[in-house]
Amino acid sequence: MQALFDATHEVDTAGMAAVCRLVRLPDAGGASDQDAWLLDALEVLRDESNAMLAEARKRA
Amino acid sequence: MDRWARPRPESITLDGVPRAVEIARLSVGEMANVRLYIRMLSLQEQRLATLADRPVLEQLAIARDERDANEQLGTWISEVVTTSLRPVTPWLALSGVEVVDGQSYCAAYDNDAILAAFWAIYLRNTLTEETRKNSASPRGSADGSPQSESPRRGDAPESPAGDVLPSDSTSAAAVSVTTFPIANPSGTTAAASRPASVLSAV
């Protein structure tokens, strides 16, 4: 799952703060063709990553 | 997306016997439809709950409308079951129909069992709240200690415990003869965890 997350997400540092974003869909096709459970799981990981980025920002 | 590449195991109790089935992975588009049907079931239940409080003529009119709507909703729900559930090994139902796929499942059983299968399909394609909660890092110590970041982000969705559904049989769903009212979605049998592998497409 970690590898899939890394392959589909990037940390965007262009804005005010670094934010982890989905930049590639995990599977072929459009958004509606994706595995629903998997996208939900990736969303959880993304939220978690962004929370960790926010915490790191606070500590900096 | 290959819906059957990594099916999810599930057990549904039918005619008093637990039956092993596999559930396909639903796409985002399919899940949107499933959620819409669930919403419609919920609204239907709300309408029926207040039916007795209405004047008789109004009750009759509502009942006619519900019958039509219910027929369509039942068709859609059966379609979900037909396309997204299959037995691990075929079995002969008490009705005399051999269950070899989702279509024969719908032919073999009544609304109760079809709705139970529908809920199982929904639940097995839904990230549980438990899984979501298990994924969260402990945030009590935001002091930079390693402990505060130790649960790495990939852990939770692969957790066997987080993906297991509440026990008890799906056949427990209470369904009347003529409708597909919303039922308690916690009625599926706990099954094995999903495969730990990830998609190979990336």
A–B: how many Cβ contacts below 8 A? 95
Q: What is the pTM of this model?
A: 0.71
Residue A29: left (phi > 0), alpha (psi -120 to 50), or beta? Answer: left
Position B137 scores a pLDDT of 53
Q: Do A52 and B153 touch (CB under 8 A)?
A: yes
* Whether the predicted pLDDT of B164 surpasses 50: no
pLDDT digits (tens, 9 = 90+) for A18-29: 899 999 999 999
User: B111-124 and B56-84 are packed helices; what angle lies between their axes, rounded to 10 degrees?
Assistant: 60
> Which of B71, B108, B111 lies closest to B91, judged by CA?
B108
Position B1 scores a pLDDT of 81
Q: Do A1 and B198 touch (CB under 8 A)?
A: yes
Beta-carbon count within 10 A of B92 CB: 10
Angle at B51 between CA B45 and CA B56, to 5 degrees: 155
Of B143-147, B186-190, B198-202, which one has max mean pLDDT?
A: B186-190
| Phi (first) and psi of residue B21, to 5 degrees | -130, 165
Nearest by CB to A34, which of B1, B153, B158?
Answer: B1
Q: What is the 3-state secondary structure (H, E, C) of chain B?
A: CCCCCCCEEEEEEECCEEEEEEECCCEHHHHHHHHHHHHHHHHHHHHHHCHHHCCHHHHHHHHHHHHHHHHHHHHHHHHHHHHHEEECCCEECCCCCEECCHHHHHHHCCHHHHHHHHHHHHHHCCCCHHHHHHHCCCCCCCCCCHHHHCCCCCCHHHCCHHHCCCCCCHHHCCCCCCCCCCCCCCCCECCCCCCCCCCCCC
Confidence check on the interface: ipTM exceeds 0.85, yes or no? no
Chain B positions in Cβ-Cβ contact with residue A52 (cut-off 8 Å):
137, 149, 153
**If you average pLDDT over residues B177-191, what whole number do you get?**
43
pLDDT digits (tens, 9 = 90+) for B17-40: 999 999 999 999 999 999 999 999
Q: Do B154 and A45 touch (CB under 8 A)?
A: yes
- Distance, CA of B202 to CA of B200 (rounded, Å): 6
- Distance, CA of B51 to CA of A13 (rounded, Å): 56
B contact test, residue of A32, A37, A46 with most B CBs within 10 A:
A37
Position B163 scores a pLDDT of 38
> Which of A37, A43, A42 lies closest to B30, judged by CA?
A37
Of B50-59, B144-153, B156-165, which one has max mean pLDDT?
A: B50-59
**If you average pLDDT over residues B137-154, what whole number do you get?**
39
pLDDT digits (tens, 9 = 90+) for B82-137: 999 999 999 999 999 999 999 999 999 999 999 999 999 999 999 888 777 776 65
CA B188, B193, B198, B200 dihedral sign is: negative
Q: Do A36 and B154 touch (CB under 8 A)?
A: no
- Lookup result for tokens 């994924």: B135
Q: Do B135 and A2 touch (CB under 8 A)?
A: no
Position B47 scores a pLDDT of 85
CA B176, B177, B182, B185 dihedral sign is: positive
